[in-house]
Amino acid sequence: MNSKGIYRLLPSCRFFTPGHLGFSLVVGVMLLLGSYSPAVAQEPKPGPPREASIPAVKESRLRNGLTVAVIERRNVPLVTVHLLVKAGSELENMSNAGLANVTASMLTKGAGKRTAAQISEDIEFLGGTIFSLSHWDSSAIRVSVTSDKIDQAVEILADVVLRPSFPSSELELLRSQSIDGLTYELTQPGPLTNYVSTVFSFDEHPSGGTPNSLKSITRNDVQRFYRQNYRPADSVLIFAGDISQENANRLAQRLFGAWRQSGRRSNNRTRAVAAVTEARPEGAPQPPVAKRLLVVDLPDSGQASVSLSIKGFDGRGGDIRRLGGSEGPFYRASVLNSLLGGGYSSRLNQEIRIRRGLSYGAGSTFNWRHSSFNFSTRTQTKNESAAEVAQIVMDEVKRLFTEDIAAGDLVPRKAVLTGGFSRNIETTSGLVNAVADLYRFSVPVSELNRYMQKVNSISGDEIREFAAENLIDGDIIIVGEYAKFKDDLAKRFPDIRPVVVPASQLDITQKDLRKR
């Protein structure tokens, strides 16, 4: 504690100066010790779970097939309008990877009579924001503004969605920026691990594209993708905030009622094919958490990125549309992830960062598909401790299905989920995100009101069962300077022969990651 901290402890002692620091420290410490009580040092227990107040989702449909969803929350004069289009990176392949992302990004780069600068200026004049993005299975365009400016804001949104101009100059600028960013990321352990696991473990292509695919995307490609996939029948217009259903429907009809289907839908959807898995006979040995070990040898990397990547299929994980209990994976996976790697006090972060000081942070995540999921852990560490961290990750995942999970261990982890959910839906953007996710996966919107109840109902036995069935047969992926952890890796994983790919020979467009 510095002298300023001591002065705050002693507000009445105005005569102290930095020259009296020694005396200040003595008096300050005495006061601290005198006021100390064991009760203050005890970690506070989480309070009882609260129920979130979620307005009803009022749904209607225009004659062109566009779904309009309205969530009225009138306490703050803000409105977020989000157009969800059920078309994303799954409609690409490796040769045109990044096309969905480029198309979504280009929507705000010119529309109708507005240039990119004019779109930005007009929204800024309204005091609002606008952005567009793409996911694996969808794309989205969103505006947020005060409720008294909603008509003008949605007019700009409609221009961007229905009349994009896709200027060649903006496409070239976006392409150049994207390639520059990607080229840099492919030299960094963390981002490089993400690209590698996408191809090696998840059997997908990078949704952000590759240097070659980005170079090959033309304006005609962008226009074709837009015509084929931006369709009202495959879209949902979501209003959340200080707006009535009547006013939202009026705006939707006036500005989007003339939207028509244009062209045939892309048919090159690259959904993962579900693995055919048979139930393990009773008494059969538990499959390993990881069966492959990939090392990307990145000399002079400074640090190593360590990840466990697992592809989960509907053959053993369930369809995300069947939520809750023993019928589907979502809630069990969510509570499991909170326990394992969902925050500062999760098991991975506790063991890797807090107890051993091997990293600044460690975590895990599930990325959902319609009938599968991609699970991965993430952390960075010194090259010399990469093998140790990989072993810790394996051990912590294995603990999930080899040890009992006490109900007391789950209480704070469930509180993290329900607390975060409650905070997020207090904002119009967070509320829109929650509703959009339900539409993305064709889940009934009524599920929004069941989230907290379903989370709190998950038991330790359900998590153990889910982990034993799904967190298996994965890949350990380490990107770093191989020479510094080679020997330790061999000692810790004697039964797995590593696949080593020099970074100079890496090609993320190939399944085996090697240049041809």
Q: How far is it, in rounded angstroms, from Cα 406 to Cα 31?
A: 40
Place of tokens 């809750």: 324
Q: How far is it, in rounded angstroms, from Cα 197 to Cα 310?
A: 9
Cα 199 from chain centroid (whole Å): 18
- Please tell me the chain's helix, strand, coil percentages from 3-state DSSP, rounded to the nearest 5: 50, 20, 35
Answer yes or no: are the C-beta atoms of 178 and 98 closer than 8 Å: yes
Q: Which letter, b or e, does each residue of 415-436 get, where b requires 16 or more Cβ atoms within 10 Å of its Cβ?
A: bbbbbebbeebebbbbbbbbbb
DSSP class of residue 12 equals T
Q: Bridge-partner residues for 304, per DSSP?
A: 381
Q: How far is it, in rounded angstroms, from Cα 290 to Cα 475?
A: 5
Q: In tens digits, what is the pLDDT along the chain, a chain of 516 residues?
A: 444 443 333 333 333 333 444 444 444 444 444 444 444 456 566 666 666 668 899 999 999 999 999 999 998 999 999 999 999 999 999 999 999 999 999 999 999 999 999 999 999 999 999 999 999 999 999 999 999 999 999 999 999 999 999 999 999 999 999 999 999 999 999 999 999 999 999 999 999 999 999 999 999 999 999 999 999 999 999 999 999 999 999 999 999 999 997 766 666 555 444 443 455 666 678 899 999 999 999 999 999 999 999 998 754 445 555 544 335 689 999 999 999 999 999 999 999 999 999 999 999 999 999 888 999 999 999 999 999 999 999 999 999 999 999 999 999 999 999 999 999 999 999 999 999 999 998 888 888 889 999 999 999 999 999 999 999 999 999 999 999 999 999 999 999 999 999 999 999 999 999 999
Q: What angle do CA 255, 256, 260 make, to 5 degrees?
A: 140
Answer yes or no: are the C-beta atoms of 227 and 262 closer than 8 Å: yes
Cα 437 from chain centroid (whole Å): 12
Q: What's the pTM?
A: 0.86
Answer yes or no: are the C-beta atoms of 272 and 313 closer than 8 Å: yes
Answer yes or no: are the C-beta atoms of 241 and 147 closer than 8 Å: yes
